[in-house]
């Protein structure tokens, strides 16, 4: 898994963490996909613009049809569950996967 942050902010399992400010800067490039792993009701109540909702039902379709070269920024509510999800996606061959520090709760503060 690639981590393009300099210096890299790696979690203990090698997942690259990204701050809200860095995620917003990266998103301006247009070549990044936000992945929301919260439950459907939470996603429907609010989510990052253009984020896809990923759950056990949509995961197989996502894995089969998504471009593994596009960087992913995975987020949850507080930035804890997204670490494991990001690790899983990296193990599935995605080249660059980030976990959003503080989750959407932190995103909304900025």
- Is residue 14 predicted with pLDDT exceeding 50? yes
pLDDT at 12: 55
Write the pLDDT tens digit of every residue in 29-55: 888 999 999 999 999 999 999 999 999
8 A C-beta contact, residue 72 and residue 32: yes
Residue 78 within any structural domain of the chain: yes
- Is residue 3 predicted with pLDDT exceeding 70? no
Residue 1 within any structural domain of the chain: no
- Confidence bin at 1 (pLDDT 50/70/90): very low
Instruction: Examine the residue annotation and report whether 76 is marked as an active-site residue of this protein.
Output: yes
Which CATH number goes with the domain that contains 47?
3.40.250.10
Range name among 5-14, 19-28, 49-58, 77-86 with the lowest pLDDT average: 5-14
Residue 102 within any structural domain of the chain: yes
pLDDT at 5: 52
Number of domains in the chain: 1
Q: What is the pTM of this model?
A: 0.89
Alpha helices per DSSP H over the chain: 20-27, 40-45, 59-65, 81-91, 103-107
Catalytic residue among 3, 16, 46, 76: 76
8 A C-beta contact, residue 16 and residue 10: yes
How far, in Å, CA of 83 to CA of 60, rounded? 19
pLDDT at 71: 95
Full residue range of the structural domain in which residue 50 is found: 16-107
8 A C-beta contact, residue 76 and residue 82: yes
Residue 4 within any structural domain of the chain: no
């Amino acid at each position: 898994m690639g981590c393009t942050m300099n210096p890299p902010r790696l979690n203990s399992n090698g997942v690259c963490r990204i701050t809200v400010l860095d995620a917003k800067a990266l998103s301006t490039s247009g070549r990044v996909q936000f992945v929301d792993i919260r439950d459907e009701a939470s996603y429907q109540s609010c989510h990052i613009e253009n984020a896809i909702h990923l759950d056990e039902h949509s995961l197989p379709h996502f894995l089969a049809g998504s471009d593994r070269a596009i960087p992913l920024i995975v987020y949850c509510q507080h930035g804890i569950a997204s670490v494991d999800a990001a690790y899983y996606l990296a193990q599935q061959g995605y080249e660059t996967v980030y976990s959003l520090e503080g989750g959407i709760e932190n995103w909304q503060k900025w």
